[in-house]
Amino acid sequence: MPLFKKRTVGKPGEWYYCLEHKKVEEGPDCPAKDRFGPYASRSEAERAMETARERNLQWENDAKWRDAPAGERDDD
């Protein structure tokens, strides 16, 4: 008996954005490597790429995420 079972059918209300097909799906139809989610609603899944862009911008502009130049350490 396998330790982890692969779910082929999602639960109602689980929404994903498929990066391969560029569409919203209810339930995990595509492999995990090709999707964002789960989201609580279809509208959240539809905004997946916009949400990712917003988060990337936040991280890129966050001083805590910047790498120190080679040879320097940030000892807070």
Mean per-residue pLDDT for 5-27? 82
Q: Are strands 23-26 and 35-39 parallel, antiparallel or unpaired?
A: unpaired
Contact between 41 and 15 (Cβ < 8 Å): yes
- Regarding pTM above 0.75, the answer is no
Mean per-residue pLDDT for 17-38? 92
> For residues 70 and 26, which has the higher predicted lDDT (pLDDT)?
26
For residue 19, CA distances in Å to 3, 26, 34, 57 come to 28, 14, 5, 19
Residue 5: band (very low, low, confident or very high) from pLDDT cuts 50, 70, 90 = low
Distance, in Å, from the CA atom of 58 to the CA atom of 43, rounded to the nearest integer, reads 22
> For residues 54 and 11, which has the higher predicted lDDT (pLDDT)?
54
Closest of 31, 6, 9 to residue 21, by C-alpha:
31
